Amino acid sequence: MITAPQYSFKYTSPLICDENVTRYFLRYPNQEIYKIGARAIPYPMSGVSCELSEFESVTCSDNPAVQVGDKHLPILALFAPIILNFRLDAPANAATTLNPSELQYLKANGNQAVIFIHGFNVPFGTYARQIDDAVVGTQIINHAAHQITTIQVANPVYNPFQSTIYRGADYLQEFFPALQQAGIKPGADFDSDVVNGTDAHNWFVHMEDNFNRATQQYDRHYYGKYQRLVHIAWSGDVGIANYMDSEDRANAAGHKLVPLLKQLIAAGLEVNLIAHSMGNRVLLTALNQLGSDTAYAEKINHIFMWDAAVPNTALSNESGKDKSYRQNCSFPNATKAVKKITVLYSQQDDVLGLGYPFMNRGYNIAREIAVEGNIAKQQLTALEKQLDTQGTIKHPKITPEQENARVLPALGYSGPDLTDDSIKKMLRDNKLIRADLTKWGVGHSHMRIPTSDVMTYGYKKWILNQTYGLKNFGLYDGTQFTKD
């Protein structure tokens, strides 16, 4: 077992308090990280006294600090994550709007809210735990010709406290420099999808990290301006065989989102939203309801629709454009509530290019087939390969009406319909932006863990951008955002 090095207070450096919160770290100018204690402290920590065994004394206040001998070290307390649970299985008392403390936080940090909505088939999940220690063991590697290699690896030991900020694959070695000195590598348990939480919470951790990094003023070492997003969780985890049920659940979540939007607007906050995949139906449902009231005309500053699993006519306000089997893909008032819309799409997205047309041929065709024949996922995949956007599938459970229903390409695959007059007008008026990521988009969820190209040509080019996207984010200096 390898423990953190002996504490040294040669530098007067900020401490960070993760979540509301759980653990303190001393971050040195040379980027080494030293564990110096743990204690859960309720935000805003005003008047709260706490003691950590590593210190002579610790007093937490609105400007908390620790006194170690003659050294006075300030503590940076991160605000607790802001998550609104719109799921069907949410507790009866789950909040659907922000509390006064959360509103005040957003007002004090740029007077702005950025809301993130996850996509299809994402359970609620949980945050990971803080790392207390590292256990060194052996890993056996089987090679060809029956050769076996045994190497030493280190895996994390967790404590009960939640971790709400991103930790990369190099974190264990950074946390315990002795590992790197000994040439010991992180083991399989130290995977980014393990140490950064599960399901929706994993998305929340990554999306906050992505937004903060896209400012080009945050490097995962200094958290002085670290900004929280507002996260929406909804019940889209119905499984591939019940895909169409997720539309109804997305609609329900969209209606729940409206009071939050009205609350933020009434508080005078700049409101922006980013949605992934089927989360864009949640977004459009809310905006369609909001936009039906002229009092909310263009009250939403900017929306970013990434990998949108809705038809490419979803932004149209023309009648007769909804060709879906259920006739539920028209949102004629949605664009009225928004000043600016950016659609980020990629024709490398096989989920939307192949799976979306199949799943939208009719109401729960996939479920009916699966229930009837107990068809496994790989067999459904084989069915998907039978058609493209104009192909056919022959199965007794698919009616002629379902088969003949026209399936338009997904907005997140083809971009907006350029034959639609209302869409063409929004493009001319610079209200609508087409962000083609085909060259850099690798898969359907490439926004969660972006490559350097997706970070550069997705987040920095279109989202945190002085020319095309948000001019500010929290307390970061917007003039340092990419300008073209």
| Cα 280 to Cα 274: distance, rounded to the nearest angstrom | 8
State the average pLDDT over residues 274-283: 97
Identify the pLDDT of residue 283: 98
Tokens read off for 159: 């404590």
Tokens read off for 250: 């997305």
Q: Which of 143-147, 256-260, 335-339 has the lowest mean pLDDT?
A: 143-147
Identify the pLDDT of residue 63: 46
Instruction: Assign 46 a pLDDT band (cuts: 50, 70, 90).
Output: very low
HSE, side-chain direction, 13 A CA sphere, residue 318: 15
Instruction: Assign 174 a pLDDT band (cuts: 50, 70, 90).
Output: low
Instruction: Assign 238 a pLDDT band (cuts: 50, 70, 90).
Output: confident
pLDDT value at 323 more than 70: no
Is residue 480 within 8 Å of 216, Cβ to Cβ? yes
State the average pLDDT over residues 67-87: 69
pLDDT value at 38 more than 50: no
State the average pLDDT over residues 457-476: 96
Using alpha carbons only, what angle is made at residue 253 by residues 248 and 259, rounded to the nearest 5 degrees?
140
Is residue 204 within 8 Å of 81, Cβ to Cβ? yes
pLDDT value at 48 more than 50: no
How far does Cα 322 stand from its chain's mean position? 29
Q: For the chain, what is the mean pLDDT?
A: 76
State the average pLDDT over residues 30-53: 30
CA–CA distances in Å: residue 205 to residues 77, 130, 192, 201, 335: 17, 14, 11, 6, 29
Fill in the DSSP letter of residue 183: T
State the average pLDDT over residues 459-482: 96
pLDDT value at 324 more than 60: yes
Sign of CA dihedral 393, 398, 401, 407: negative
- Domain spans in the chain, listed from the N-terminal domain onward: 15-77, 82-124+200-480
- Max mean pLDDT range (24-38, 79-93, 388-402): 79-93
State the average pLDDT over residues 400-416: 75
Identify the pLDDT of residue 17: 44
CATH 1.10.10 given to domain 82-124+200-480? no
Identify the pLDDT of residue 445: 87
Instruction: Assign 47 a pLDDT band (cuts: 50, 70, 90).
Output: very low
Identify the pLDDT of residue 186: 75
Fill in the DSSP letter of residue 94: -
Identify the pLDDT of residue 172: 60
Instruction: Assign 188 a pLDDT band (cuts: 50, 70, 90).
Output: confident
List, for residues 353-383, the tens digit of each pLDDT value. Answer: 877 766 665 434 444 444 444 444 444 445 4
Identify the pLDDT of residue 181: 66
Identify the pLDDT of residue 239: 76
SS3 163: strand
How far does Cα 125 stand from its chain's mean position? 13
Q: Which of 221-235, 294-308, 309-323 has the lowest mean pLDDT?
A: 309-323
In this prediction the pTM is 0.80
SS3 72: strand
